[in-house]
Chains A and B, each alone.
Chain A
């Protein structure tokens, strides 16, 4: 469970802190430009590190500094509870004068308050094991992040556990038109647009075949005429996802990419739910899950996602859709906003605001301020 996210001097954030306090699902609402999607971008930086991207310049650019304040460092902090232990990761980046690429100023990973490794500029100190105070020291290029470089000793190594959690984050803002039906590899790392959804599905089913039951059960709930789905081999390395629908005369096979945008989102949702069940707990950030869905479906869709993460994992959504907003409550809906493009993003739970009326009405009338 992600417990705390702190972002400073990145995009729209200055001294920005998000504390989840055990929330399994939460919603971000606010005006355009408030910084909702920027939270996804901050999480993507961390996800990228987990997935092995270590070049700072590939993760953040000088233009990512808040209001071009390059003289101050950019800071990311994340606290997460995994397997009964609390992990804390700190990454501080800086852009010295006349530099074109940011570099690492400070980096640290702690597990239950004990440093796993810590770093100041190029010098990395690694605590070898809990019994030994003395650990290895080595130098790393200032423009490289150390976490992806540190050798994992085992599956129980804190570095492995934390990196795997970062890598498996699902940060998604799907574009169904980019979701094609052919798969050339298997993965457990979905992309932001969902364009590798069929690879993800293949990876999930390859490693966790029991996930099929969960996926098909979800899909049959939303598409009652769905019979089954399968991969059809196209050659040595490629396969195509075929979705079979039951008809009076038999079966109608449909290529995945011929499904509607909304139906592709049903598939994506079913895979997220099954992935969280199979290898979670996952942190999922879904930017506007109501996109592409019919009005009658939005509420059920959002609620299904909330229920799926209620037992394990966390999901955070953003929306401008009334029906999606109604499926959350004041205790788990954050109002996000900023006064102008020169002001940082701020955040308040609706519970902390004295709402005299229905939240939808207040949002429509522009009456909610942080």
Chain B
């Protein structure tokens, strides 16, 4: 059965193929409740993620109150600018159910630096979330996600683990 829209579930909207592959790895973790999480087709750029969020997802988040949405983008070295841009675009009534994550530049440097495939990176991130520890999450290319990760731990962990 696909995700049940009337029960708590998480949709993941990835900017590009590399982020989609990290999400694939995340879902391979044996502790994930895969029926509660769905990775959507990538949209091709952070701008399109924002555009899709506004035009496609805000109304659906309002319609389905059990829905949570993770936006997976590349910050391209402009973390504060991009966070501000996205957070300003999150309407107050759905803000608590939307999360913004991504590498501070792009996934490729992370892959090169870790010596892991994108799926393996996703698996490691999921494993750390399940065990509530942080190694890869503290990588310089990921550490800026700490506040969003904490928000996800508080709101989404029980849905996906």
B34 touches A222 (CB 8 A): no
Q: List CB contacts (< 8 Å) of B14-57 with chain A.
A: 16-17, 20-21, 24-25, 27-28, 30, 34-35, 38-39, 41-42, 44
Chain A residues near B20 (CB-CB < 8 A): 326, 329
Q: Given A296-B2, A326-B20, do A358 and B28 touch, yes or no (CB 8 Å)?
A: no
Bound CA span A297–B16, Å: 22
Which residue on chain B has the smallest CB distance to residue A362? B17
Contact assessment for A311 and B30 in the assembled complex, using a CB-CB cutoff below 8 Å: yes
Taking A296-B2, A297-B1, A326-B20 as contacts, is the C-beta distance between A332 and B30 under 8 angstroms? no
**Minimum Cβ distance to chain A for residue B120 (Å):** 8
Q: How many residues of B contact A (CB 8 A)?
A: 21
Contact of A327 among B24, B42, B44, B117 (CB under 8 A): B24
B2, B24, B30: the one within 8 Å of A328 (CB): B24
| Binary per-residue interface labels of chain A (349-360) against chain B in the complex, 1 for a CB within 8 Å, 0 otherwise | 001000101111
Question: Which A residues are in CB contact (< 8 Å) with B118?
Answer: 329-331
B interface footprint on A337-370 (CB within 8 Å = 1, 0 otherwise): 0000000000000010001011110000000000
Contact (Cβ within 8 A) B30 A299: no
* Residues of chain B with a CB closer than 8 A to A327's CB: 24
Q: A304 contacts the other chain (Cβ, under 8 Å)?
A: yes
Is B74 an interface position by the 8 A CB rule? no
Q: Are B35 and A221 in contact, with the CB atoms below 8 A?
A: yes
Is A307 at the interface (CB under 8 A from chain B)? yes
Considering only CB atoms and an 8 Å cut-off, how many residues of chain A contact the other chain? 29
Answer whether residue A240 sits at the interface, using C-beta atoms and an 8 A cutoff: no
A360 to B17, alpha carbons, bound, how many Å? 10
Contact A306 B42 (CB under 8 A): no
Complex formed: what's the CA distance from A14 to B34 in Å?
40
A303-B34, A307-B28, A355-B17 given; A331·B1 CB < 8 A: no
**B1→A222 contact, CB < 8 A:** yes
Chain A residues in 8 Å Cβ range of B1:
221-224, 296-297, 300
Q: Which residues from chain A contact B119 at a C-beta distance below 8 Å?
A: 329, 331-332
A232 at the interface (CB under 8 A from B): no
Q: Which residues of A contact B2 (CB under 8 A)?
A: 294, 296-297, 300
Contacts of B16 in A (CB 8 A): 358
Contacts A221-B1, A296-B2, A358-B16 hold; do A329 and B117 have CB atoms under 8 A apart?
A: yes
Contact A331 B117 (CB under 8 A): yes
A311 cross-chain contacts in B, Cβ below 8 A: 30
A112 touches B (CB below 8 Å): no
Is residue A310 contacting chain B, with contact meaning CB distance below 8 A?
Answer: yes
Complex Cα–Cα for A49 and B127 (A) = 41
CB under 8 Å from chain A, chain B span 85-133:
117-119
Min CB gap B103→A, angstroms: 16
- Asked if A310 contacts B30 (CB within 8 A), the reply is yes
- Please tell me if the beta carbons of B28 and A326 are within 8 angstroms of each other in the complex: no
Least CB distance from A354 to B in Å reads 12
B30 CB, min distance to chain A CBs, angstroms = 7
B24 close to A329 (CB less than 8 A): yes
Residue of B nearest to A328 (CB): B24
* A294 CA to B3 CA, complexed, in Å: 13
Known: A224-B1, A297-B2, A300-B35. A358 touches B24 (CB 8 A): no
**A326's contact among B30, B35, B41, by CB below 8 Å, is which?**
B41
Asked if A326 and B117 make an inter-chain contact with CB atoms under 8 angstroms apart, the answer reads no
Contact with B28, one of A222, A306, A322, A330 (Cβ below 8 angstroms): A306
| Nearest CB of B to A198, in Å | 23
Alpha-carbon distance A296/B152, docked complex (angstroms): 25
- B67: shortest Cβ distance to chain A, in Å? 15
Known A-B contacts A223-B1, A300-B2, A310-B30; the reply to A330 vs B21 at CB < 8 A is yes
* B27 close to A329 (CB less than 8 A): no
Chain B residues with CB under 8 Å of A299's CB are 38-39
Closest to B123 in A: A310
What is the CB-to-nearest-CB distance from A320 to chain B, in angstroms, rounded to a whole number? Answer: 16
Q: A347 to nearest B CB, angstroms? A: 19
Please, what's the 1-or-0 string for B76-92, where 1 marks a CB less than 8 Å from any CB in chain A? 00000000000000000
Closest 8 CB pairs of A and B: A296-B2, A329-B21, A331-B117, A329-B119, A358-B17, A329-B24, A222-B1, A303-B34
Spell out B's residues near A (CB within 8 Å): 1-2, 16-17, 20-21, 24-25, 27-28, 30, 34-35, 38-39, 41-42, 44, 117-119
